Structure 1
Amino acid sequence: MYRQELYNGVAYSLLGDTIVYLLAIYFGAGNIALGYISSASYIAGIVLPFVPQMFHGRNQIKVQSLVWVLRGVVCLGYVGLFVISGDLAVLLLLFVYTLFNIFRMIGIALNDSTLKNISSVSNRGKVVANVNAAYQSSSIVVRCLTALILGVQRFGGLAGLVGLQIFGVIVNFAASREMSLIPSRSTIVFKKGRTVMVLFKEAMAQQMFRRRLILRWLSTAVAVIFGLTTPFLRIELGLSNSVVVLYSVVLGVSVIAASFVSKQFSDRLGSRPLVFFSTLFALFFFMAWVLITKSVNPIWFFVLGFFTNFFVALISLLTFRLVAQVMPDDETVPFNSMVNFVIAIIAFFVGIFSGFLADKGDIARSLFVLDGRVAGNGYTLVFLFAIALTMIEVLVATRLQEVGAYSSQEAAQVIFSMHGIRAVSMIEKLERTNDPAKRRFLMLSLGENFNNLATSELKQILASPFSPDKLEAVRTLADRPRKSLLDDVIKVARDDDSYVQLDAIAALGSYRKEEKAKDALLQLMLHGRWSSVRSMASKSLARITESTEYLSLVNELSHSAKHIDEVIDYLIAKRFMDKSGSFYQEFFLSIDQGRSATFRQTRYAVIASFLKFGSPRLAGLYEQMNLGTPKDFLSPFLTEARDLNQIDLYFNEVLSYFKNQDWVALRDFCLGILEVSDVGFDPCFDNLKKGLLRAREMDIATFDVQDALAMLYFSYSLGKNAKS
């Protein structure tokens, strides 16, 4: 499809309205004829009611490819312009262009169905935008080349214009071939009695269909009117053919920009709010077209054309997406035929009426007077007509309903804020990035973005049973809690079969002022299926409450903790709840429980981290001991600990205690330090001292180097911090 659109962008740029406008002006066509050309690409839809019946049972792609070939073949009729002139040439031009658009319109009706088949609800906006980007990118290139060719005097006349169209016919055949390669099992179905009028009445009877279709038809009508800006530049401003073609390049760039915006926002925000804002901006720019005079520098017409066409094209893309959402699967082609049939009728009258208004240039130029100066141009009435239709679009857009779409206020917070634009950028990068480190960074950035789009994306991730970003999303909400997602985090935290349950419970600890978070954690602590759930809930509940309200319950649960992570959770919970540190009196609990060396090292290191004694760290001493480098890991510590008099006096003796594993002598040495250390000024220090003094009553045979090092470290730390 994308390759077909690349070729099609070249073909239509050479066979479509711009060069046809220039040929018509070359042969002296009037405004009515120019208005017809502007609407002819839609008027041809008048034949669409007969398409389902004519091609009933035929493969959709094969028919689509065939009509694409035929639309190229009929353009060979432009060669006849070499042998006729005047009104007869204009009639031939209009006849060939009408046939071209009849086959093109049949192809478009089928193309809408093809686009629906190769896309899904979740990516349809992106696919439609990419198709338009492919079409416009090749169109821009060929139009630039066309401008250069027409800028050469030899090719600036009839020969150059018709020669370009013949080349367009050749490229059109390539587009047809690419179209034929799209795999499709869909066939065109005609149901007897399901006429255009029947389908039209059914659609108009349903509010959802009616408003979307009216928007689609209005957006097409406005596009027909805006198409007249091309002959406007030639007739009103007298610009050359090559400059007019350059103007069409600018319009192509604006469509690519509109496709990019649609791709970025439509699938996430919905079409409704984007249509509403786009119509408001379109009103503003059409008013500029109403008031601008031909004496203004031509560059401003290019700028104005870019921005106006940007919003006109964006509205067309969004309304197509809206209609595609409700398009019936079993009657796609007949439904499209009905839609485009109505477009044909509307486009015909809009085009002819716009041409009629363009003929009233004398009235238009004197319609507005500002500060004694005349404002406006020969097409002012035409642009006023566009404003009237756009105002109706605004009214319909405000009444439109779209499931899952953002409200106008929510969408504005995304579109018109740097945070919203950054959120879109980060989400887009997440979809394309596979590197785990980059994804973690993007999730962290998304977590720091409090725009409602970022919130919506996090909500979707939390709702997924498995997402590569779910763990990071939960952790992000722990670092940057959002009240709007509290219920979502609670839901994950209560799910005993969620693989991020523990992280969600931990995240609830960040919602300190939320009663719902507290209630959820209390229930998990009391009734959690897994012991790890209960311990994690205890830790998070302690962070929220920081009171002794649930301390007795935490103490009771902690004695049944089996794994080290549960023990750490309970220790942290006690630290928050028990400000006096009475739990330090259970300093040697892990020895009584017969825990492993790793378990005891970890527990002692966690307790040391609570008290923040400073350098050296107990965890660092264990680290050197476990590595075995240096072998005499104790000497550096004891050298630093000589600021305590007892260690300075018995430096060598302490080294020998460890060398000979004389834990009895080491215990007596440590108890001696503790007995003379006055730490009653700090309840935590005092309770830790009581816990260490219990070593006097314990069986020293249960001690090993882990416990001995911990006892020496804490005895030294208390002695150093005691009152002198």
Structure 2
Amino acid sequence: MYRQELYNGIAYSLLGDTIVYLLAIYFGASNIALGYIASASYIAGIVLPFVPQIFKGRNQIKVQSLVWILRGLVSFGYLGLFFLSGDWAVILLLSVYTLFNVFRMIGIALNDSTLKNISSIANRGKVVANVNTAYQSSSLVVRCISALVLSIQRFSGLVGLVSMQILGVLVNFMASYEMARIPSRSTVDYKKGRGVFVLLKEAMKQAAFSRRLYLRWLSTAVAVVFALTTPFLRVELGLSNSLVVVYSVVLGLSVMAASFVSKQFSDRLGSRPLVLFSSIFSLFFFMAWALITPEANPVWFFVLGFFTNFFIALIGMLVYRLITQVMPDDETVAFNSMVNFFVAIIAFFVGLISGLLGDLGHISRDLFVVNGIAAGNGYTLVFLFAIGLTAVEILVASRLQEYGAYSSQQAAQVIFSMHGLRAVSMIEKLERTRDPAKRKFLMLSLGGNLNNLATSELRLILRSPFSPDKRDAVRALGDRPRKALLDDLIMVAQDDDSYVQLDAIASLGAYRKEEKAKNALVNLMLHGRWSSVRSMASKSLAHITEGTEYLPLVNELSHSAKHIDEIIDYLIAKRFMDKEGTFYQEFFISVEQGRSATFRQTRYAVIATFLKFGSPRLSLLYEQMNLGSPKDFLSPFLSEARDLHQIDQAYKTVLSYFEKKDWESLRSFCMDILESSDVSFDPCFENLKQGLLKAKEMDIEAFDEQDAVAMLYFSYSLGKNAQN
């Protein structure tokens, strides 16, 4: 499809309206004829009701490829322009262009169905945008080349224009070949008695259908009127053929820009708010077209053309997306034929009206005169007509309903804010990035972006049963609390079979002022299926309450904890809930429970981090000990600990205790330090002291090197911080 659109962009640029406009003006065509050319690409849709009957049961892609070949063949008729002049040349030109568009419209009706088949609801906006980008990129290249060719005097007239059309015919055949290669099992369906008026009547009964169709017809009508800006440059401003082609290049660039915007936003925000905003902006640009004078610098007309066409093209893509949402699967071709049939009728009348208004240049030029200064141009009435159509378009768009689309206010917060644009950029990068480290960074950035688009993306991730970003998304909500996602976070936290349940429970601890979060954590602590859930809920609840209300329950639950991660959670919970530090009195409880060396080391190290005794760190002592150098690991600590008188006096003696594993003598030494240390000024220090003193009553055989290091470390730390 993309390759076909590349070739099609070249072919239509050479066979389409711009070259035809220039040929018509070359032969002296009237404004009505120019208006007809502007609408001819749509008028040809009048034949579409007969397409399902003629091609019933045929493979859809084969039919589409055939009509593309036929539209190329009829274009050889332009060679007859070398033998005609005046009105007869114009009649031949319009006849060939009409036949060209008849076959083109049949192909477009089938193309809509093809695009629907190769895309899904989730990526349709992106696929349509990419198709337009492929089309416009090749179109821009060939239009630039055309502008250069036409700037050469030898090729600026009839010879150059017709030669480019014949080249377009050859490239058109290449587009047909690529189209034929698109795999498709779809056939053209036709149900007797299901004509365009029956389908129209059914569609009009449903608001979801009717308002979308109104938008399609209105957007087409506006596009037909805007197409007259191309002959406007030649007729009103007198620009050369090459500059008119350059103008078409500018219009192509605007369509590519519109494709990019549609790709970025339409699938995320929905079409409705974007159609509404685009219609409002196009209204203001049409006002500028109506008021600008021919004496203005031509650059301003190119700028106006770019921005006006940008919004018109964007509306066209978005409306197509809206139509495909309601397009019936079993009558796709018939439905498209009905839509384009009425497009043809509307385009015909809009084209004629625009042409007639263009003939009223003498009225247009005197329409806006203030203090003797005139504003406007010979096409002012044409542009006022476009303003009226756009105003109706705005009214219809404002009443459109689209499931899943953002509200206008929400969409504005995304499109017109730096946070919203950054959110779009981050989401786009997430879709392309595979590096785990970069994805984590992007998720952290997205978690810090409070725009509603970032919120929606995070909600989607939270609702996914499995996503590589789900854990990072949950943690991001803990780092940067987002009230809008609190219910979603609670849902994950209460799901006993969610693989990120513990992360979600941990993140709830950041929602300190939310009663919902507190109630959810209390319920999980009391009734959680897993012990790890209860311990994590206790830790998060402690962050929220920081009171003693749930301390007795936490103490009770902690005594039955099995795993070290649960013990750490309960210790952290107690630290926040128990300001007096009474839990330190259970300092040696892991010894009484017969826990492993790793378990006890971890528990002691965690307690040390609570008290922040400073250098040296207890965990550093265990690191050195675990490296396998038991004779050396203690010396640096004891050297630093000589600021305590008792250790300074017994430096070598303490080392010998560890060498001989004389834990009883070490216990007596530590107890002497503790008993002589007055730490009553700090309840936590005092409770820790009482917990350490319980070692006197315990069986020394239950102690080993882990406990000895802890006993020495905490005794020294309390002695160092004691009152003199």
Letter in 2 for 1:545: T
User: Counterparts of 1:188 and 1:234 in 2: how far apart (Å)?
Assistant: 43
* 1:250 shift after superposition: 0.3
Letter in 2 for 1:122: A
Q: Deviations over 1:548-577 (max 9, x none)?
A: 000000000000000000000000000010
Contact 2:279 2:393 in 1 (8 A): yes
Q: Deviations over 1:65-111 (max 9, x none)?
A: 00000000100010111111111000000000000000000000000
**Aligned twin of 1:249:** 249
Q: What runs of 5+ residues in structure 2 fail to find an aligned partner?
A: none
Is 1:175 paired with 2:180? no
SS of the residue corresponding to residue 374 of structure 1 reads strand
Letter in 2 for 1:92: L
* 1:372 shift after superposition: 3.1
**Aligned twin of 1:599:** 599
1:521-536 correspondence runs (5 A): 521-536=521-536
Letter in 1 for 2:326: V
Letter in 2 for 1:430: L
Is 1:704 paired with 2:694? no
Letter in 2 for 1:235: V
**Aligned twin of 1:394:** 394
**Aligned twin of 2:453:** 453
Q: What runs of 5+ residues in structure 1 fail to find an aligned partner?
A: none
User: Counterparts of 1:529 and 1:207 in 2: how far apart (Å)?
Assistant: 49
User: Counterparts of 1:686 and 1:372 in 2: how far apart (Å)?
Assistant: 95
Q: Deviations over 1:591-631 (max 9, x none)?
A: 11111100000000000000011111111111111123685
1:549-560 correspondence runs (5 A): 549-560=549-560
SS of the residue corresponding to residue 316 of structure 2 reads helix
Sort the Cα spacing of 1:413 and 1:629 in 2 relative to 1 into closer, same or farther, 3 A. Answer: farther
Q: Deviations over 1:449-485 (max 9, x none)?
A: 0000000000111001111111000000010111111
**Aligned twin of 1:73:** 73
**Aligned twin of 2:623:** 623
SS of the residue corresponding to residue 329 of structure 1 reads coil
Letter in 2 for 1:410: Q
1:141-220 correspondence runs (5 A): 141-220=141-220
**Aligned twin of 1:302:** 302
**Aligned twin of 2:496:** 496
- TM (norm. structure 1) is 0.99
SS of the residue corresponding to residue 330 of structure 1 reads coil
**Aligned twin of 2:382:** 382
Letter in 1 for 2:422: R
**Aligned twin of 2:716:** 716
Letter in 1 for 2:430: L
Letter in 2 for 1:263: K
User: Counterparts of 1:3 and 1:232 in 2: how far apart (Å)?
Assistant: 33
**Aligned twin of 1:694:** 694
Letter in 2 for 1:88: W
Is 1:684 paired with 2:677? no
Is 1:571 paired with 2:571? yes
* 1:642 shift after superposition: 1.0
User: Counterparts of 2:74 and 2:629 in 1: how far apart (Å)?
Assistant: 88
**Aligned twin of 1:408:** 408
User: Counterparts of 2:136 and 2:613 in 1: how far apart (Å)?
Assistant: 68
Question: More displaced, 362-371 or 245-254?
Answer: 362-371
1:166-565 correspondence runs (5 A): 166-565=166-565
User: Counterparts of 2:194 and 2:60 in 1: how far apart (Å)?
Assistant: 19
Q: Runs (4+) of structure 1 moved beyond 6 Å?
A: none
**Aligned twin of 1:6:** 6
Q: Deviations over 1:203-239 (max 9, x none)?
A: 1111110000000100000000000000000110000
Is 1:31 paired with 2:27? no
Letter in 1 for 2:274: L
User: Counterparts of 1:660 and 1:629 in 2: how far apart (Å)?
Assistant: 15
* 1:538 shift after superposition: 0.6
Q: Deviations over 1:475-517 (max 9, x none)?
A: 0001011111111011001100000001111111111111111
User: Counterparts of 2:476 and 2:372 in 1: how far apart (Å)?
Assistant: 62
**Aligned twin of 1:111:** 111
Contact 2:631 2:659 in 1 (8 A): no
Q: Deviations over 1:683-709 (max 9, x none)?
A: 000000000001111111111111000
User: Counterparts of 1:217 and 1:644 in 2: how far apart (Å)?
Assistant: 90
User: Counterparts of 1:642 and 1:302 in 2: how far apart (Å)?
Assistant: 84
User: Counterparts of 2:451 and 2:71 in 1: how far apart (Å)?
Assistant: 48
SS of the residue corresponding to residue 374 of structure 2 reads strand
User: Counterparts of 1:301 and 1:189 in 2: how far apart (Å)?
Assistant: 46
User: Counterparts of 1:630 and 1:173 in 2: how far apart (Å)?
Assistant: 84
* 1:370 shift after superposition: 3.3
Letter in 2 for 1:494: Q
SS of the residue corresponding to residue 330 of structure 2 reads helix
Sort the Cα spacing of 1:629 and 1:318 in 2 relative to 1 into closer, same or farther, 3 A. Answer: farther
SS of the residue corresponding to residue 331 of structure 2 reads helix
**Aligned twin of 1:51:** 51
RMSD (Å), alpha carbons: 0.7
Letter in 2 for 1:184: S
Q: Percent identity?
A: 79
* 1:315 shift after superposition: 0.6
Sort the Cα spacing of 1:630 and 1:132 in 2 relative to 1 into closer, same or farther, 3 A. Answer: farther
